[in-house]
């Protein structure tokens, strides 16, 4: 159980276009989802915390108008990279939380590799 999917798994787009990435919890409901980006051989950098039915909370330095997050249901959150540029090329990973025992556990999706030309 606790499977999280992401779609697409990879995407190549032209500079200036927008790209939408979906994150779904397949067999559980997740009140909270998180969005991360990861550069090669580096750790996960949290971008934002997404709660169902409310506005996302962005980390310092993350442009909320550029990285639009929508969490419309307990199983789906989307990240839209607007007017993408080459510096936005990265590995984007989402996680969905579920209560397991006495803690909330984050279950991660397989990631989406974005390449902006």
Q: Which residues bind other proteins (CB under 8 A)?
A: 4, 6, 32, 34, 41-44, 46, 49, 91, 93, 95, 97, 102-111, 113
Measured from the CB atom, the residue of 14 and 102 that comes closer to other proteins is 102
CA distances from 21 to 6, 33, 99, 103 (A): 7, 13, 25, 27
> Which among 8, 56, 5, 2 is positioned nearest to 29, based on CA atoms?
2
CB 83 → other proteins: shortest distance, Å?
26
Measured from the CB atom, the residue of 51 and 82 that comes closer to other proteins is 51
CB 47 → other proteins: shortest distance, Å?
11
CB 79 → other proteins: shortest distance, Å?
14
**Cα-to-chain-centroid distance, residue 37:** 8
Measured from the CB atom, the residue of 87 and 102 that comes closer to other proteins is 102
CB 89 → other proteins: shortest distance, Å?
14
Tell me the C-alpha distance between 102 and 36, whole Å.
24
What DSSP string runs through 80-107?
A: EE-S--GGG-EEEEEEEEEEETTEEEEE
């Amino acid at each position: 159980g606790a499977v999280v999917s992401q779609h697409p798994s990879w995407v190549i787009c032209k500079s200036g276009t927008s790209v939408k990435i979906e994150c779904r919890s397949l067999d559980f409901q997740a009140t909270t989802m998180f969005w991360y980006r990861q550069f090669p051989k580096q750790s996960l950098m949290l971008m934002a915390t997404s709660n169902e039915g409310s506005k996302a909370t962005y980390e310092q330095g993350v442009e909320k108008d550029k990285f639009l997050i929508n969490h419309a249901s307990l199983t789906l959150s989307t990240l839209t990279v607007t007017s993408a540029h080459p510096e936005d090329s990265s590995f984007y990973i989402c996680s969905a939380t579920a209560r397991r025992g006495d803690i909330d556990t984050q279950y991660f999706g397989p990631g989406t590799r974005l390449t902006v030309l």
